Amino acid sequence: MKNLIPQTEIKEGIELCYRNAERLLNGAEAILSSQYASPTSIDPNYLRDMNYSSCCGLVVLAIEEIGKRYFLLQKYQTDKDVSDKEWEGLTRDRKAHIRKIEKAKSLLRLKDSSLAKELNEMKKRDIYVDWKNGWQSPLDFQIRFKEPKYLLKLGRTALRELECHCQNANIII
């Protein structure tokens, strides 16, 4: 098994994942706090819902980055390199997104076994156009979203929790 990421490079990955998660959460917060006014005749409810779906997608991506960072931190703490197979499973495998969310979920000590799958489905719904017995798009708002504030809180809590783990490992960003 070849090593893809040597131990000497893992700390930089931890820092980059943190910055990216922070960027995504800041973007989601900016979207959520924006005003729903339009100089044209666009329905403000439509703008709100469009923003909510963008916000939810960004938060789930941030939670995935937090999970990736937690994985790297655990490798760093055990003085182990990251193998090709491990990185593939976390970043490119069919279930990679769910694995990263599961890692972040473990930080929060959440027991909900379906949370990772639900968040991944929410991200897909809020980011991608898909065909499921008809076209589904983030621009279709038959359901009014109430999830963004909860997701932002979940993302920020996971980021703070991971910061505590990093500080205990003497990794300060």
pLDDT digits (tens, 9 = 90+) for 105-141: 888 887 777 888 888 888 887 788 888 788 877 776 5
Count of Cβ atoms closer than 10 Å to residue 65 Cβ: 24
- Across the chain, what does the average pLDDT equal? 82
What's the CA gap between 11 and 73, in Å, rounded?
8
Does 173 map to a domain? no
Does 95 map to a domain? yes
More confident residue, 146 or 159: 159
Q: Which domain holds residue 26?
A: 3-168
Give how many domains the chain has, as a whole number: 1
Q: Which of 13-22, 49-58, 65-74, 78-87 has the lowest mean pLDDT?
A: 49-58
Does 82 map to a domain? yes
Does 81 map to a domain? yes
Question: Percentage of the chain with pLDDT > 90?
Answer: 34
Q: Which two tokens stand for residue 172?
A: 């300060």
- The answer to whether residue 145 scores a pLDDT higher than 50 is no
Q: What is the distance, to the nearest Å, from the Cα of residue 112 to the centroid of all Cα atoms in its chain?
A: 17
Does 136 map to a domain? yes
pLDDT at 112: 74
3-state secondary structure of 143: coil
Q: Which two tokens stand for residue 2?
A: 């070849």
Going by pLDDT thresholds of 50, 70 and 90, the confidence category of residue 144 is very low
Does 52 map to a domain? yes
Report pTM. Answer: 0.80
Does 162 map to a domain? yes
What's the CA gap between 97 and 120, in Å, rounded?
7
Does 112 map to a domain? yes
